[in-house]
Every structure is written in structure tokens, then in C-alpha cells.
Amino acid sequence: MSENANWYVVHTYSGHENKVKANIEKIVENRGMEDVILEVSVPTEEVTEVKNGKKKTRQKKIFPGYVIVKMFMTDESWYIVRNTRGVTGFVGPGSKPIPLTNEEVRKMGIEKKILVIDIEINDSIRVISGPFETFVGHVEDINMERQSLKVLISMFGRETPVELEFSQVEKI
């Protein structure tokens, strides 16, 4: 077993993603394998649609027909996931699953690291990375959900609003 669990992509029957997720979670719980199969995810995004003049918000699957599983790859964990009702197989050549790279996991937004900052509105900050590095400004708005700040930076003699991630700034 490797020291870190990896994310694997599992192909399912279309429309059965949530059932597969529930089935895997139930099997893991029944067999006491919470330390081998750590997390099962069906990536979704919130979509707002306007129909008949009414706004409706719903969850839309980002990758229909796929479930993402974080697990340690063992013969037993492979067997359990592969033989879950609704699963057609792992993504990878033949029967050998290929884990997602850290870059792929980050881009897909599966594993979001929540940063906590001690910055408040009207605080002065310095930009420490990105195209506005070394600029100084003050915080106008904080968006915890998107992990970003709206900062007014003095550029070319006028205040310019810029959106920055928490990791790009430090408090002065």
C-alpha cells in the first residue's frame, strides 16, 4: 500500500452516479473499510436556469457517467468498487486503474482546501504572488465561498478593483 490515497475515476451507467456512490459507501460501512476507501464523490455544479420566466437553481453533474473515488488501491478495494452494482469499470488501460494526478484533482475542484484568513474589510494587504505582486491595497469585499478578496489597488494614479485568491495576499 502506498502512503497516500489516490483519486480514481470509476465509469458507471449514465444516470446511476448517485446510486453507485450510495452503494459503495454502504459496502464500505458494512465491511468496515473506511480506512481503505476514504471518499466517494459525484462532482456537481450549481446551475441557474430561467424557464417560463422563473429562475430555478439545480445541481448538474460535471462528469455524467463517472464517480470519483479516493482510496488505497488494494485487491480487495479494487474488487469491491469494480463489482458494485452500476459500475462498468475503472478508467485506465485494461483492468489497471490509473490514479488522477494532483494537478487533475486540483483543476477538477474535487478536493478543495479551505483557507482561513485573519483579514477583514478595510484591512491593508500586500500582494505576494501573481501579476500584481508587490502591490499594496485595501480589502473591499471577502468571498469565503470562492476563497477570494476584492481589493482596491492603486494603479496608474487611480484605485482599481482586483479579485485575488486568499493565497495571493498577506496582511500588512
Same fold: 6-108 with 124-171: no
Amino acid at 99: P
| Predicted pLDDT of residue 79 | 93
Of 64, 69, 93, residue with least CA distance to 80: 69
Instruction: Give domain 124-171's CATH architecture.
Output: Roll (2.30)
The pTM (predicted TM-score) of the whole model is 0.62
CA distance 18 to 42: 7
Q: Where are the domains of the chain?
A: 6-108, 124-171
CA distance readout (Å), 132 to 22, 34, 42, 120, 156: 45, 44, 36, 20, 13
With a cut of 60, say whether residue 6 has pLDDT above it.
Answer: yes
Cell 478578496, located at residue? 149
pLDDT at 58 over 60: yes
Q: What is the pLDDT of residues 66-121, one digit of tens each?
A: 999 999 999 999 999 999 999 999 998 877 899 998 888 877 767 655 667 788 89
Which has more confidence, 10 or 48? 10
Quote the pLDDT of residue 167. 82
Residue keyed to cell 430555478: 56
Per-residue pLDDT tens over the stretch 11-25: 999 999 999 999 999
The pLDDT value recorded for residue 1 is 42
Q: Give the residues across from 70 on adjacent strands.
A: 7, 39
The correct answer on CATH 3.30.70.940 for the domain covering 6-108 is: yes
Q: Which residues in 130-167 are b (16+ Cβ under 10 Å) and which e?
A: eebeebebebeebeeeebbbebebeeeeeeeebebebe
- pLDDT at 64 (0 to 100): 93
